[in-house]
Amino acid sequence: MSSNKPTVLPNGGTRTYLISGDFIKFHTVYKDGTEIVEEYSLYSEEIESRRVKKVTMTGKENWTTEIGEEIKRNNNEDFLIKENNDNNPIFIRKDTKENFEYRIRNLKGDADNFIIDIDKNKDEIVIRTKNKKYYKRFSIPDLKRLNLNLNENNLKVNFTNNVLVITYKKPNEVLNSEKEIINEIRKIREEIKKNPDKKYEPGCQNQ
């Protein structure tokens, strides 16, 4: 099941969707060439993955993974593979409705070995270890898109079973921005429930 015509967004972008099983994939395209592909659970309404394409001034297309497992192109074969190494630390983002959540697997040591700070000058979360065996800094793109700065009061850290979990509570501005796509999921789900054999068309939303 998919949309016949795109939804026109208030910011000038256009969005289409495709339903596969219990998941719905949204494809949003903006006038500057930016594309966002997001996959949500149709029933839990939680996002499973997000990939963003930006076009450089030279016309080169760069895809980045914001949520879900990193996907890279195999140099020897013309297909995409998931980044996975059982020995090295694996950095992955998996959000909930209320929080941004980052997980780093395969980290050795005790909980007190990790130091997590916010670099206010660069507006980034910084992870380092006392034994200097791991270092990582990252920003939260969702906050930057809304011109919001990191707030240490929203940050929580947990370390168990060699997995470091960094949780950042979503501010109200982010929750409000996500309402649009959540409401769209609910409309589609309700339409499927009422008309399971009918193709749902979201139509245009001009604001």
Q: Residue 3: pLDDT band by 50, 70, 90 thresholds?
A: low
Domain ranges of the chain: 7-194
Segment 89-93 mean pLDDT:
95
Residue 157 has pLDDT above 50, yes or no: yes
Q: With pLDDT > 90 as the criterion, what percentage of the chain qualifies?
A: 68
Residue 188 has pLDDT above 80, yes or no: yes
Report yes or no: 23 and 6 within 8 Å, Cβ to Cβ: no
Which amino acid, residue 195?
A: N
- The CATH code that applies to domain 7-194 is 2.60.40.790
Report yes or no: 173 and 148 within 8 Å, Cβ to Cβ: yes
Per-residue pLDDT at 201: 47
The dihedrals phi and psi of 15, each to the nearest 5 degrees, come to -130, 135
How far, in Å, CA of 206 to CA of 49, rounded? Answer: 27
* Average pLDDT of the chain, as a whole number: 86
**Range scoring the smallest mean pLDDT among 64-68, 72-76, 150-154, 156-160:** 72-76
Segment 14-31 mean pLDDT:
92
For the chain, the C-alpha Rg in angstroms (whole number) is 19
